[in-house]
Structure 1
Amino acid sequence: MGKPFFAALAFPEGTFIAAMGLPSVNISDKQLESSKVIERGGKMEQILSMLYGISGVAALGCYLPQLMRYHRDPQARASISISSWGGWIAVTLVTLLYAVFVQKSGLFAGVTAMNAAAQGVVLAYGIRGRLGRGAGGPVSAARDGAT
């Protein structure tokens, strides 16, 4: 009985397995074929790319109800965590740089940029809520229960 299939994928012949003097793993042609399901330019990659684009646009739609709440409710704005949203935006911007310079994918970069923009709107509402500006003027008294 040979090594499990996943071992053959994780440690193919000619890698450090061979360098360590460990026995190589033989896999069948059928196993090798199934391991190449997501090849560059293949049908599965095209399907996943399309789904990624659709899900990215759908994710933007998920921001809308929350943004509408922040737009209508100054107290809700004040509850936004500036540090959390700032951190998420920073991570998203790193992802954007990866999409542009490493993957060189317009779709990946576009979806990431749109999500960064939506996150930026949430952060802007949070900052406005902290500064006490917005639809109802200063909110600090109402937020602190002094009304």
Structure 2
Amino acid sequence: MAEKDNSSVDQIRDILFGEQTKSIEKKFTQLEAEINQQFNGLKTQITAMNKQLTANMKAMEKQSNESLTSLHTEHTDQMAKIEASLNNKIIDTEASILNELQQRANELDQNLTHRKELASLLKKMAEQISG
């Protein structure tokens, strides 16, 4: 008999609240479907963003590496030019110093020659005076 009472109560409940329960269940099902749809949409967007970010990072890394290589090459070329310029200046300075030394050596030779001539002349004069 308890089963009959429960069954009757369930039937009365279905009669009184059946439409509302069905309506609420339908709304919950719709909400669940909407939430799943939105979740899947967000998941798709996040996956696409992740792919785009990865592609952008790879492109930036490639560009950065190319720029670094270019800068390295440019600096190497500039250093080679500076080194060549310094070597040329050193060679020019050495040549200038050697020319200066050569001129001074020539002047000393001329002075030495003049002194020898003067010494020879003085010796002759001394001989003439003494003799």
Structure (1 or 2) with the larger CA radius of gyration: 2
Structure in which a larger fraction of residues adopt helix: 2
Q: Same fold (TM over 0.5)?
A: no
